[in-house]
Structure 1
Amino acid sequence: MIPTRTDGAVAPGVLLREPVGALVDPGEHLWGFGGVHGGLTLALLTAAMGEQAPGALLQSSTARYHRPLHGGFRVEVSPVRSGRTLSSLAGRATTEQGVHVDASATFGSPGRDSWPVVSPAAPAVPRPEDCEVFTIPPEFVAISTSMEIRAVGPDRPYAGGTEAELTAWIRLVEDSEPPDAHRLILLMDGLAPSYSAVLREMLPIPTVEFTVRPGAGLARAESPWVLLHARTHQAGADGWIDERIDAWGPGGDHLGSARQLRLVTGRPRDV
């Protein structure tokens, strides 16, 4: 039986457990800001690419967003290079209007070596149940009803703070499964842009490019909760933003890293 949400709509994790077909229509309940959620789109394209690299582990996946998806789309996958050590593939989300999202992914064969592991340490934060729930209005981001977000620290989106960073626990509400690579991609894109923490106006900050790299601790994940720390690495006066995101499990295992190239659209009121 395919799980659904309480309103009968198919939950996002279901789409990531099922084989990805040539045609995908996530439904408006899985939209982000202005179209199909970007993290979900990359997760679906990555899953489709992974179907052509059986047994290999995802090392990196990148999407470039050219235009929003406002409904169903066709998934196209093509091999770039296939070898014993690594495989590279390309994926696209297209409609009759052309290419909306193009993606690339690198998969590697499971290694047997025991090299030293290097990963960022998790920040000291309260447990999810000790943090307040942060609710994103579903009229802005419909897919937010499929997620539970517990804010950590004082920073909030569009609160005019001094630090361009956001920290929060996040999980899918449909079940208690720990994240795999595809769920991690989806959840990595679950927070508002970190740059929004220093703004007071709700200006759109869409993603232009999104890269996710799973970490060494993802294979040991046991909890559905993921701790995200997103910070703006640098931002120019022209609105282009380089954002970095790290994810950990409740036990401190580093689950992965991400990088987003964003662009502030619109103009501030005092300009």
Structure 2
Amino acid sequence: MISPGALLRAAPLDEPIETGSHLRGFGGVHGGLALALLTTAMAERAPATLLQRVTARYLRPLGDEFRIEVSTERSGRTMTALAARAMTQKDVHVDATAIFATPQPASWPTVAPPAPAAPPPEQCEVFTIPPGFVPISTSMEIRPVGPNRPYTGGAEPELTAWIRLLEDDEPPDVHRLIPLMDGLAPSYTAVLPELVLLPTVEFAVRPAAAGLKRAASPWVLLRARTHQAGADGWVDEGIDAWGPDGDHLGSARQTRLVRPA
């Protein structure tokens, strides 16, 4: 069975892709992994550039076999805009858009969220997600920070945890960061007393190139917090990622919809 990192490194993105059921999330291919594959395919069209932002819309669950189509929306001197779709023979299941930019020398002031206080990962207990619920969780190690846990009816819609891919000790690059940022349970589940599903409708990632360039550890500290949740079940969540040295690695935004289990 191929691992997430190996798939991102080796998948022939111009041919049909087979992932296997062990890389599923809620009912289909894990959303973060699907977006990472789409991003990797788009990056091949924009060499010598840096990803600035990528956004995916999940139209229907993605099966274990699909193909990727990429198109160029704009190609300029400093910015390239691309689109990609994960498709079966009949339907588009995930579509994504991304902005890549040519690195430019500059000295503008930088702004990044500070990392939360957290003990090192080896001092935190492992949290195991039932493989039957999220099969791809067997490829990741999660060590929560603080008292919040999914589906415990807590007071705060926030989850903080260390996370890494189990397959190797490589630090995250932008493509490995994307599935890791989608590796925790939805933060809204921290205030829920019972199991419900919260599939992702839209997922946007903004990597922090400087932090990723300096990354030396496989561990990523994630803090996910629900900023808005309506009585109709629509949930807006923000996620930030840091390395063990406190470097900010990226930010993400998820729009989710609550569904009964």
TM-score by length of 1: 0.94
| 1:89 partner amino acid | L
Is 1:147 aligned with 2:147?
A: no
After TM superposition, which residue ranges in structure 1, 4 or more long, deviate above 3 angstroms? none
Structure 1 vs Structure 2 CA RMSD = 1.0
The whole-number CA distance in structure 2 between the counterparts of 1:103 and 1:48 is 11
Q: Report the secondary structure of 1:29's partner residue.
A: helix
Residue of structure 2 equivalent to 1:239? 233
- What letter is aligned with 1:198? V
Letter in 1 for 2:2: V
Verify: 1:261 aligned to 2:255, yes or no: yes
- Whether the aligned pair in 1 keeps the contact of 2:186 and 2:198 (CA below 8 Å) is yes
Q: How far apart, CA to CA, are the structure 2 residues paired with 1:117 and 1:263?
A: 34
Q: Shift in Å at residue 255 of structure 1?
A: 0.1
Q: Residue 4 of structure 1 corresponds to which residue in structure 2? A: none
- Give, in whole Å, the separation in 1 of the partners of 2:17 and 2:201: 22
Structure 2 distance, partners of 1:226, 1:21, is: 30
State the distance in 2 between where 1:111 and 1:196 align: 41
SS in 1 for 2:260: coil
CA distance in 2, matches of 1:41, 1:90: 14
Cα distance in structure 2, aligned partners of 1:183 and 1:133 = 21
Post-superposition Cα deviations, 1:200-241, rounded to whole Å, max 9, x if no partner, equal 111110000000000131111110000000000111010000
- 8 Å CA contact 1:167–1:229 kept in 2: the answer is yes
Contact residue 174 and residue 207 of structure 2 kept, 8 A:
yes
* 3-state SS of paired residue (2:137): helix
Helix, strand or coil: the match of 1:182? Answer: helix
Distance 2:132 2:105 in 1: 48
Partners of 2:36 and 2:157 in 1: how far apart? Answer: 26
SS at match of 1:217: helix
The reply on whether 1:220 has 2:214 as its aligned counterpart is yes
Q: Is the 8 A contact 2:242 2:249 kept in 1?
A: yes
Corresponding residue pairs, total: 259
Whether contact under 8 Å (1:22, 1:76) holds in the other structure is: no
Correspondent of 2:71 among 58, 78, 101:
78
For residue 87 of structure 1, what is the aligned residue in structure 2?
80
Which stretch has the larger CA shift, 14-23 or 241-250? 14-23
Q: What is the letter of the counterpart of residue 57 of structure 2? A: R
**8 A Cα contact 2:203 2:252, kept in partner:** yes
2-side partners of 1:228 and 1:97: how far apart?
36
- Is 2:13–2:67's contact at 8 Å kept on the other side of the alignment? no
Could you tell me which residue of structure 1 aligns to residue 29 of structure 2?
36
Give the 5 Å matches for 1:109-188: 109-188=102-181
Structure 1 residue ranges without an equivalent (≥5): 1-8
What is the rounded CA distance, in whole Å, between the counterparts of 2:3 and 2:175 in structure 1?
Answer: 14
Cα distance, 1:170 vs. partner? 0.2
Partner residue of 1:15?
7
For residues 21 and 177 of structure 1, the distance between their equivalents in structure 2, rounded to whole angstroms, comes to 26
State the alpha-carbon separation in 2 of the partners of residues 141 and 21 from structure 1.
28
Distance (whole Å) between structure 2 residues aligned to residue 17 and residue 71 of structure 1: 18
Matched residue, 2:38: 45
Identity of aligned pairs, percent?
A: 69
Report how far residue 97 of structure 1 moved.
Answer: 2.8
Quote the Cα distance in structure 1 between the aligned partners of 2:155 and 2:13: 42
2:246 corresponds in structure 1 to 252
2:18 is the counterpart of 1:55? no
